[in-house]
Amino acid sequence: MRFLGFFLLPLVALAEVPIEHSAELSRIFQEQNARGTFVLLEAKTGKLIAHDPERAAKRFIPASTFKIPNTLIGLEAGAVKSVDEVLPYGGKPQPFPTWEHDMPLREAIRLSAVPIYQELARRIGLAKMKESVARLEYGNHRIGTIVDRFWLDGPLEISAIEQTQFLARLLLGRLPYRPENVAAVKEITVLEKLGEYEVHGKTGWCTSSNPDIGWWVGWLEKNGELTASFALNIDVLDEKADIAKRVPIGRACLQALGYK
């Protein structure tokens, strides 16, 4: 099968993107009793490998996975001086006690603190945010009129395939953003080591859809260079059980594809 380079994919209808189906990935989803998709984009070849390619092309609200581009946009726009500048959370009660204090983006992305990133979005402003989301070719480009809710409630949506493409373009320097800002995003998204690979990523949980959607998106680096980007989303039918499955399923998929 001939694969298109990832840098061409935004210009091609998703239905035309060739994807290799993996029976091994499907087995992992079946064993975990999870309904969803996992897709991996190899950086050097542009090859896409997936469980459920049809779902991989379907768009969903990105939820907290948007904290990756939100960080980049905020830095580029000068809405924050650095990922260590402390932002206010607003003083209101939050769903989680860990969100109830002022903090920098470095901490907020680790805690997935929604009010901090809402403050960042308000500082960026609607016009600049709209321009930036389009500039990033992120999903359907639609942010509506509420600058601090569009990635939580819509209208912004993105597919798993598009998540991998966005990350690959970003990390290979094919987006018009300053290298130091890309480096800052890379620094605060490091999660773990998987064998000889460094794993970066962000989870997400969209509660504005039926069913809820759980996300895990990210990338693998080896010796500081991008090896592959990936994206997983699953239906959250049992809140306690399914949310906990996101990273373990994704990690198992990466290992099944040889990243271990």
Question: What residues have CB less than 8 Å from 219, skipping those under 6 apart?
Answer: 167, 168, 171, 199, 200, 201, 226, 227, 228, 229, 230
Task: Give the C-alpha separation, 97 to 232, whole Å.
Answer: 27
Catalytic residue among 64, 112, 132, 159: 64
Which uninterrupted H or E stretch holds 25?
helix 23-31
- For residue 64, indicate whether it is catalytic: yes
DSSP per-residue letters across 141-195 = ---TT-TTTHHHHSS--EEHHHHHHHHHHHHTT-SSS-HHHHHHHHHHTEEEEET
* Terminal Cα-to-Cα distance of the chain (whole angstroms): 26
> Annotated active-site positions, please?
64
